Amino acid sequence: MPVVKTKDVCVGEVREYQMSSPLGTITVTACTSGLHTLSQPPHLSDENFSPNIRQEVELLSAKGEGDPPQAVKSCLHWLQVYFKDPAQLTQIPVSRPNICHLHTNNPGFRERVWQVLADTVGPGEVITYGALADRMKNPGAVRAVGSAMSNNPVGLIVPCHRVIRSNGLGLYHHGQRQMVKRWLLNHEGVHKF
């Protein structure tokens, strides 16, 4: 996943953490201000995708010393709830971990797309690229919305898997993880793909 500069909000060192999940090992980077990235296993593809629904979400390792920052603890809890029952994210509700990219002083178009997506499209919902561009009050920005999705540094929490084409599923990780997208949507109760 690309790393987006967030110098205007971040403090402290960015550290890496690994968590188990039904998808495999998820890698999270964070500073004391919030998350920077959340990455699915880099080797994951349609050819080798084999989710383990019994796998609990646990913190496996941390690079660096000391306790993980609050954003990592919140991320761990959010992922635990998500993989157990995504509907609980809105029913309880479970707080989304702080994400540095969403709290910059001068957010760009991508950051605004990620914020709107994270704030308005919940588990079990989907939205087309065009409808998301409309929500951004920029109906001509369909391709730019697609670019924002392919550069999303905190997938799952900023749910780019919920963004679809008007005529079908749409790409996920440049078309390399279509089965993962279907699985995530099915996990959330969307079964039309």
114 and 67 in a common domain: no
Q: Which domain holds residue 158?
A: 102-187
User: What digits encode the pLDDT tens for the residues 29-45?
Assistant: 999 999 999 999 999 99
Domain boundary among 40, 62, 91: 91
Q: What is the pLDDT of residue 87?
A: 92
Q: What share of the chain is helix, strand, coil (3-state, %, to 5)?
A: 35, 15, 50
Q: What is the pLDDT of residue 9?
A: 61
Is it the case that residue 6 has pLDDT exceeding 60?
A: no
Rounded mean pLDDT, 148-174: 96
Known catalytic membership, residue 75? no
Q: If you count DSSP H runs as helices and E runs as strands, how many of each does the chain have, helices first? A: 6, 6
Domain boundary among 56, 91, 126: 91
- The structure's pTM equals 0.91
- CA–CA dist 130, 43 (Å, integer): 30
Is it the case that residue 186 has pLDDT exceeding 60?
A: yes
Q: State the total domains in the chain.
A: 2
Please tell me which residue in 10, 75, 100, 160 is annotated as part of the active site. 160
Whether residue 5 is contained in a domain is answered as no
Q: What is the pLDDT of residue 10?
A: 78
pLDDT interval class at 82 (50, 70, 90) = very high
